[in-house]
Structures are given as structure tokens and as C-alpha cells.
Structure 1
Amino acid sequence: MGKAIASFGRLRQRLWNNHNVSMWVKGKIYRAIVLSTLLYGAEAWAVYRRQVKMLHAFMMRHLRLVMRITWMDKVTNKDILERTGLTSSDQKITSSELDTS
């Protein structure tokens, strides 16, 4: 998780805070860089439900940061995924496919 946080932080000034870049592009870059870093080697992990929840929470927290959505805005996770262009299959990567317990 530390490496994924670092890769997210490196893109903060140039990409995440840039208003000229669409949410769709930000979602694609998020999936290509941050999610791939987060899930590197996941095939070899013995992942439990608690870890899956942590991965999903990490993903949604950072997407909310990119979109500048707070918990007070009452936007669902599904809406956030749709706005960024990420599909439910990306959500399945962090929830059902890794869940071995």
C-alpha cells in the first residue's frame, strides 16, 4: 500500500489537481498506475476479507480525493466509479476475485 500511496502522491500536483484533465482520463491513469501498483503480485497473495475491504476502501478514498468529493456530499461508490470511467470489473479485482477465504 505504501508504494501505491507514493505513486498517487507523485501525481497529485500535475494530474489530480489539474482541472483541464477529464475525470475519464484521471480514472484511466489511476487504474494504470495506482491500481496496478496496489495489486502487484496479488495472484500470489493469500488475501482475506479484511484485506479486500482495506483495498476497496483505499481505492474509494483516493478516487474521492481525485474528484474532491467528501462524505458530506453523499455520493455512492457506484456513482464515483461511473464518473471516473472505471467499471465494476475493476471493483471485482479488489473484491471477489482476490477473496480466497
Structure 2
Amino acid sequence: MENQEVVMGIIIHGGNARSQAMRAMAAAKNAKFAEAAQLIEEANEELNKAHRIQTDLIQAESRGDKTELSLLMVHAQDHLMNAMTVRDLALEVISLNDKINQLSGGN
């Protein structure tokens, strides 16, 4: 697989993960906690795919196969880290919404 295709995989899976985490927060805001949990699981699956690509690149470099450092690669890494942060924050937001829902007498 070409380096550019590999990098695009990180961007695509990272973007998908971020989108699912954002949707999970919206679901939790509407007290749809089962849906939020499913969306977080989907976000985790996308993050795992992106992380596997990243790990493959790191392992290849440790074997001496240098990866071209490009603006696209930097963007991909930024995209992945942003997606991970949004997922982590989504977990907190979902938890807080659940507590608020419970305290206000919701189901």
C-alpha cells in the first residue's frame, strides 16, 4: 500500500471515530444512553483501526523502513490524537448526562 493511502487510512478512521463520539454525546444529551454506548463502541473500533495503521508504521520504521514525513502525515497524526481526545471527553459527557438524568428522575 502506498504511503499516502496508509496516511489517508489514519485520517479516515480518525475522522469516523470523532464523528461517532460527537454523535454519542448528542444521544446522551437526549437520554439515549444505549445508543450513546453503541456509538462509543463504534468510535473505539475506528480508533483501533487507525491505531493499527499507526502501529504498523512505527514497527516498519523500527525495522529500518523509513516513513516519509509529510504535512499529510502530520495532519493524520493530529487527526488521530484529536479523535482520541474527543472520545475521552465524550465518555465524561455521557457519564455526566447519565447522572443528571438520574438526579432529575429520568429513566
TM-score, normalised to structure 1, is: 0.38
Larger radius of gyration: 2
TM-score, normalised to structure 2, is: 0.37
